Structure 1
Amino acid sequence: MRINVLQHTPNEGPGAIQQWSQDHGHEMFIYHPATFGNLPTADQTDMLVILGGPMSPNDDFDWIKQERALIQQMMNDHKPIFGACFGGQQIAKTLGYSIKKAPHKEVGWAPVYLKSNIIPGIPEQLTALHWHEEMFEIPKEADLLFSSDLVENQGFILNDNVIGLQFHFEPAADNVREIAINDNQYPMEHNDLHQTAEEIINHGVPEENKKVIYQLLDFIAKH
């Protein structure tokens, strides 16, 4: 399987998604459309992974619109798509739903709660890394998958092949350090989780997060 990853900022890479790909013997190709403007075609893509970033789907950049055209073609072809944060928002925007300011800015570690049993074996409560102040509208054709205490719209699943999350299960400890040290001012600005970059790093990554990201990817990839 060829997994094409869209990475939008240097400090938010695929993390455990890359390890999942390696464990299954897949090939991963990482694109940087915000930097180089290159995108794969749907014909070149067996699974599409859309990562986070500081931009908004509402921004008027050609590459953002081109990403959505790729997402639409992937959905037309019923191929697996996984989006985290900006990536989940891009999926919702492609489906015609709004991206707007969330009622609370969440930056740091906080629980999320399972809202659908479509994917078996997911724990009822998990601790995820949040790094956002916008949120997606849940598509009417999708099922709400996760919520948090501060923001209801934390994740959705569409059919059996598309998952969009507002938060992050994919970062390992090194990835969290990379995110936090490079974007260290973001947690300090009106953060309703009241965590500093140092506190976020010192929290550590829950062991079950890697297992859950594997379960989500296995489900849409049909392993």
Structure 2
Amino acid sequence: MRINVLQHTPNEGPGSIASWAFSHGHEFFVYHPYFFDGVLPKASETDLLIILGGPMSPNDELPWIVKERKLIKELLRKNKPIFGACYGAQQIAKVLGSKIIKSPFKEVGWANIIKQNCFIPNFPDKFPVLHWHEEMFEIPEKATLLFSSELVSNQGYLYEGNVVGLQFHLEPQQSDVNEVVVNDYSYAIVNNALKQTPDQIIKFPVPSINKEIMYAILDFITL
């Protein structure tokens, strides 16, 4: 299987998604369309598309953002599996006709999400994840709500059995969290409803269950 990853900022990499891919012996390619003049993979060479987070908005009309949505639309038409985190989930939702809106606050730091659907068995009912956003998606039509948090009800969705979008981040390991915080800490401390300092975010131990759930989601959508 060829996995193509769209990475949108240097400090938000694939994390445990990469280790899942390598453990399965898959081909793994990372694209940086925000930097390399909108270079994207072709739909014909994509078996699984991963769309990571970033500081941009799906409501922006930058040429590479529009091209990304065209790629997503083509892969949806071909029934190819897609996973999106944060901005990535918003991009997929926008392609599916949902609105992306700005929240009156930021949700940045560690907080529990609550399971709303048992699409994969043996998930805990709630567990802490890393949040880093202020825009939110509506749940796409015909999609199933997967997760909510106390602050944001639409935290994850499943579409057509092989597309998952999560507003939060399961993929970061400790070094990934460190990289996000030290480079983007000024974003975290302004209007943050979770009221966590950069130091508190870094010192929170990354739950091992997050990697397990990330693996389970990727296994589920690529069956």
- Specify the alignment match of 1:84 in structure 2: 85
Identity of aligned pairs, percent?
A: 57
- Amino acid aligned to 1:191: N
- Specify the alignment match of 1:197 in structure 2: 198
Q: Residue 89 of structure 1: SS of its match in structure 2?
A: helix
- CA-to-partner distance for each residue in 1:147-206, whole Å, 9 max, x for gaps? 000000100000110000000000000000000000010111100000111110001201
- CA-to-partner distance for each residue in 1:3-23, whole Å, 9 max, x for gaps? 000000000000000000000
Tell me the distance in 2 between the aligned counterparts of 1:58 and 1:201.
30
The answer as to 2:82 corresponding to 1:73 is no
Aligned length: 222
- CA-to-partner distance for each residue in 1:77-105, whole Å, 9 max, x for gaps? 11110000000000000011100012531
The answer as to 2:32 corresponding to 1:32 is yes
- Specify the alignment match of 2:152 in structure 1: 151
- Specify the alignment match of 2:23 in structure 1: 23
Structure 1: stretches of 5+ with no match in the other structure: none
- Amino acid aligned to 2:157: F
TM-score (norm 1): 0.98
Tell me the distance in 2 between the aligned counterparts of 1:20 and 1:6.
16
RMSD of aligned residue pairs (Cα, Å): 0.7
Tell me the distance in 2 between the aligned counterparts of 1:159 and 1:121.
21
Tell me the distance in 1 between the aligned counterparts of 2:67 and 2:124.
35
- Amino acid aligned to 2:26: H
Tell me the distance in 2 between the aligned counterparts of 1:145 and 1:103.
23
Tell me the distance in 2 between the aligned counterparts of 1:102 and 1:209.
25
Q: Residue 75 of structure 1: SS of its match in structure 2?
A: helix
- CA-to-partner distance for each residue in 1:31-67, whole Å, 9 max, x for gaps? 0000011000110100000000000000120100110
Tell me the distance in 2 between the aligned counterparts of 1:54 and 1:110.
20
The answer as to 2:130 corresponding to 1:129 is yes
Tell me the distance in 2 between the aligned counterparts of 1:103 and 1:212.
29
Q: Deviation of residue 121 (structure 1)?
A: 2.0
Tell me the distance in 2 between the aligned counterparts of 1:78 and 1:27.
20
- Specify the alignment match of 1:63 in structure 2: 64
Contact 2:58 2:87 in 1 (8 A): yes
- Amino acid aligned to 1:22: F
TM-score (norm 2): 0.98
Tell me the distance in 1 between the aligned counterparts of 2:203 and 2:117.
31
Q: Residue 183 of structure 1: SS of its match in structure 2?
A: helix
- Specify the alignment match of 2:14 in structure 1: 14
Tell me the distance in 2 between the aligned counterparts of 1:122 and 1:44.
32
Structure 2: stretches of 5+ with no match in the other structure: none
